[in-house]
């Protein structure tokens, strides 16, 4: 992120402001996650995750992030936060699991400390 953009954004600790230049760098990752919303692409991802990720043309570092399912790294890279959940959801982790990971907690701890999720 350019210093001028960072200064005007005044991000809170632990947040990753998204801007056009950063989003452009992570376009491939975002497009890969967006494609998982299509039933056929999601099924292909479940059947052979490695092949599906490689078919999207990601760079080796982006493949490593996708493989690790590290939503924090995805956000830090500039991936659109709205597109992070489809990847874990395609393999059964879902939004709750992704949110737990972003908080640095296990799914069990996250569920126990946030009962509102269970009430939905």
Would you list the domain boundaries of the chain? 19-91
**pTM passes above 0.75:** no
Name the nearest CA neighbour of 16 among 99, 72, 92, 95: 72
Model confidence at 57, pLDDT cuts 50, 70, 90, reads: confident
Q: At 16, list the tokens.
A: 């990753």
The CATH homologous superfamily to which domain 19-91 belongs is Dioxygenase LigAB, LigA subunit (1.10.700.10)
What tens digit of pLDDT does each residue of 65-97 get?
877 777 777 777 787 766 665 565 666 667 777
Rounded CA separation 73/54 (Å): 18
45 contact partners, CB below 8 Å, separation of at least 6: 36, 52, 53, 87, 90, 91
Q: At 39, list the tokens.
A: 């039933």
């Amino acid at each position: 992120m350019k210093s001028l953009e960072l200064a005007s954004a005044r991000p809170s600790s632990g947040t990753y402001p998204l801007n056009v230049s950063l989003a452009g760098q992570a376009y491939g990752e975002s497009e890969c996650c967006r494609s998982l919303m299509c039933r056929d692409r999601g099924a292909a991802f479940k059947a052979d995750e490695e092949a599906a990720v490689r078919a999207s043309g990601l760079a080796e570092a982006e493949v490593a992030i996708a493989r690790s399912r590290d939503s924090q790294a995805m956000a830090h890279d500039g991936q659109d936060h709205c597109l992070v959940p489809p990847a874990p959801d395609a393999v059964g982790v879902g939004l709750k699991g992704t949110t737990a990971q972003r908080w640095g907690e296990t799914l069990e701890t996250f569920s126990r400390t946030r009962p509102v999720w269970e009430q939905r």
